[in-house]
Amino acid sequence: MKKNIIIFVILFELIIIIMTSGLGAQGKAEIPDIVSKNKINYGNALKLHNDKQYKKAYTQFTNLINSSNDLLIRDYIIYYGAKSALNTNMYDEAIDFYSKLMEEYPRSSLYPFAEQYKALAEFYKDDYPISNFFNGNKQKWIKEFVGLRAMRETDDTNKAKLIALELTKKYINREALIYLNNNFEEEIYNFNNNIKYKSAVELYDAGYRTAALKYFDNLIELNAYKNNSIYYKARINQLAGNRESASTLFNEYLANTNNKEYRKLAIYWNANNYEKLKNYTKARELYNTFLRNYPKDSYVPRIYNSFINISLNSNNLPEAKKYLTNALKNFHNNRYTELSLKSYLRKALKLKNKTETYYSINELDKIYPKYRHDFVLSWYMWAAEELGDTEIRDKYIMKSLLESKNPFYVKGALSLATPEMVNYISQSNTYYLNEAKKYYTDSNYTKTMQMLNNIQFIDYIVTKKEDNLVKEARAIAKNIFMQNKFVQDFYSNKKENEIFNELSLQTRQDVNKPILLYYYGDMDNAYREFNGIYQKTQVTYPLFYYAEKIYKSSLNTKRFMQICANIGKYFGYNYYDNVDLLPDEFRKYVYPRYFDEYVVPEARYYKIEPNFVYSIMREESLFDVKAKSYVGAMGLMQLMPTTAAAENKKARYRYNPLYLTDAKQNINIGISHLSWLFQSQNASNYALVAASYNAGSGRGNRWKREYGTNNMYRTARFIDIEETEFYVERVMRSYEYYSRYYKN
């Protein structure tokens, strides 16, 4: 053991740390010698703290502070000693400990936490000196932290109200404002007009639009902030679908204001509102007004997108193309230009206009020269199939078969390919394998990998079984990988203490602290400390080894998945989109099957392939149990609360209460919903089910009516919602890989 590693003498019994993980522990790990063997140590004291045995925890933390034990994490010992004291209302002791931490460890990552909790302890000790505290010289972030904690924890509603009033009046704090709105809305009506207006805007931004509307109406009655309140009232009506009322309000606002920023937004949203009302004349008039007044504004590409869609709605391709050409010229890389181009492409294809269809795909090819290039090839292929251009179709079938690394697109091409085409690919594969062998013999590994990457594993994609060609190609690739230290270390079967020692030396002992926290079971703090080191350290296998343990154990699986997405870069493998050539263990890092114990039995019960469930889960959340989207979808399978509540009534498990951040509940409800989608579509078209999962069963039924269910690759190509189209591509790619790498 290196001298710079702290070695502790065995005093009492050996503490066996059982490594737990939200993903399922894989047995017991060997504990590096940095872990104290004393009966009283950080791990035991922290367990008492987490079990809410705060007095016992405080005693143990105090003993540790006064000893020489666990010096490496002494700042954490002091911090949790202070927290334990605070939780037992021992305010003087808590203040002393927080002060001690700040004095002795000014560079500790815990310093800002100690600073705010010390202020909270002082606030409690002085019995809620609300006025003095909020008028004192503490920093804003400390005042907000203390105020919110005290507001949440007090049983005295009057104190909570007074704190909420201070936080709202001084900082328009969202949580405090919502508390007042829910419990003391009369206080908001009594605010001066300036604070009342700011509060209404904050509630609007927080999604409390009905509540905000009441205060805007009050301001309009008082003739205070009237014009801006009318603007927000118009937006609230528009978002609620009351478009006629919204138009009236927008027009009133525009007739009476000179506020440059709000006027700009009002023109745009009023035009957008008329567009939704299909009053295209008025919409065009307002959009053109916007363009004249704000020609370089960031909303301009959106307006071109609207012009194009208005033209397409009347099947006016020439007019739409005029706007599209302008957008491509001036905003080529803008997201709205891309959306416009795809809308134009779909309409041209629907109208069977060959010239404009191929023009659109050519322009799309310029946007996707490398990234998602096979997406463009797929468009060429399926558009030509729809238009009856067999020569063009066959050309792009071959290009897809030769170039695409997305197995879903390859299978789509195979669904149209002739036996002669498949035979040509087979001959091509033999050629590239032989070339790879020659370069490998000459130790030219760069060229070897180039040749191996040119091989298209057609039979493997279809049968999901490795033939001799696949096995031979992968064996050569692995031999090359094995010359890299990362891969050598991966397969070395080194003991955990050896791996730790290497990493400790690599990071100059910086890593010792988070790893010690990890072995003591302090997963969240271990993650926080370790992640900072990971981001600035060259990735070696020891670093990766502990990243896996710490990230998964702290339920930060999404972060670990992000690390693994391009795992080949750690050992010089540049073909990130060709997962097949990676050794099996590395492929399964890119496409893991977490939560098997929940997924497999539930999927089998509903007669759904587990691998399809994993594909959905991977693309929805990257296996993040805590995931929450901007629209409110939650958990591993990103369920909307309303969908989950409805599904919970018919699923075989009826949870009460329903927690969507609980892995088992989320998976069971999500699989039940998938089962319902399969039944409602009355088809085994996985692409259609994935599309319905993302965009809703109503849209799924529309795509089913328009494109049928016979060929899922064709269905997926013509989905007309950008997000859903890309989502289906990703899910089906994952499904293909899962189906090959795991047997159900």
Lowest mean pLDDT among 24-38, 302-316, 475-489: 24-38
Q: Tell me how far CA of residue 114 lies from CA of 66, 98, 106, in angstroms.
A: 19, 5, 10
Q: 484 vs 697, which has greater pLDDT?
A: 484
Q: What does the mean pLDDT of the chain come to?
A: 92
Residue 24 scores a pLDDT above 60: no
Q: CATH homologous superfamily for 42-127? A: Tetratricopeptide repeat domain (1.25.40.10)
Q: Are the C-beta atoms of residues 481 and 445 closer than 8 Å to each other? A: no
Tell me the per-residue pLDDT of 370-412, one tens digit each, with 9 for 90 and over.
778 899 999 999 999 999 999 999 999 999 999 999 999 999 9
Residue 30 confidence (pLDDT)? 61
- The tokens of 486 are what? 């990362």
- The tokens of 507 are what? 């990071």
Residue 13 scores a pLDDT above 70: no
Confidence of residue 708 (pLDDT cuts 50, 70, 90): confident
Lowest mean pLDDT among 28-42, 59-73, 103-117: 28-42
Q: Mean of the pLDDT values across residues 605-623? A: 97
Residue 577 confidence (pLDDT)? 86
- The tokens of 28 are what? 């017991």
Q: Report the predicted TM-score, pTM, of the whole model to 2 decimal places.
A: 0.89
Residue 683 confidence (pLDDT)? 66
Residue 495 scores a pLDDT above 50: yes
Residue 9 scores a pLDDT above 60: no
Residue 448 confidence (pLDDT)? 98
Orientation of helix 91-104 relative to helix 74-87, angle to 10°: 160
Residue 19 confidence (pLDDT)? 33
Lowest mean pLDDT among 98-112, 137-151, 258-272: 258-272
Lowest mean pLDDT among 16-25, 133-142, 544-553, 605-614: 16-25
Residue 199 scores a pLDDT above 90: yes
Q: List the domain boundaries for the chain.
A: 42-127, 423-484, 596-741
DSSP states of 373-438: HHHHHHHHHHHHHHHT-HHHHHHHHHHHHHH---HHHHHHHHTT--HHHHHHHHHHHHHHHHHHHH
* Rounded Cα distance, 250 and 508, in Å: 63
Q: Mean of the pLDDT values across residues 574-602? A: 95
Confidence of residue 677 (pLDDT cuts 50, 70, 90): very high
Q: 291 vs 710, which has greater pLDDT?
A: 291
Residue 362 scores a pLDDT above 90: yes
Residue 744 confidence (pLDDT)? 64
Q: Mean of the pLDDT values across residues 590-610? A: 96
CATH T-level topology, domain 596-741:
Lysozyme (1.10.530)
* Rounded Cα distance, 322 and 342, in Å: 15
- State the sign of the Cα–Cα–Cα–Cα dihedral 584, 588, 591, 597: positive
Q: How far does CA 672 lie from the centroid of its chain? A: 23
* Rounded Cα distance, 634 and 679, in Å: 24
Residue 7 scores a pLDDT above 70: no
Residue 274 confidence (pLDDT)? 97
Q: Are the C-beta atoms of residues 380 and 396 closer than 8 Å to each other? A: yes
Residue 47 scores a pLDDT above 60: yes
Q: Above pLDDT 70, what percent of the chain?
A: 95
Residue 359 confidence (pLDDT)? 98
Amino acid at 203: L
* Rounded Cα distance, 169 and 171, in Å: 6
Residue 21 scores a pLDDT above 60: no
Q: 69 vs 107, which has greater pLDDT?
A: 107
Q: Are the C-beta atoms of residues 681 and 709 closer than 8 Å to each other? A: yes
Residue 5 confidence (pLDDT)? 35
Residue 661 confidence (pLDDT)? 95
Q: Mean of the pLDDT values across residues 32-48? A: 86
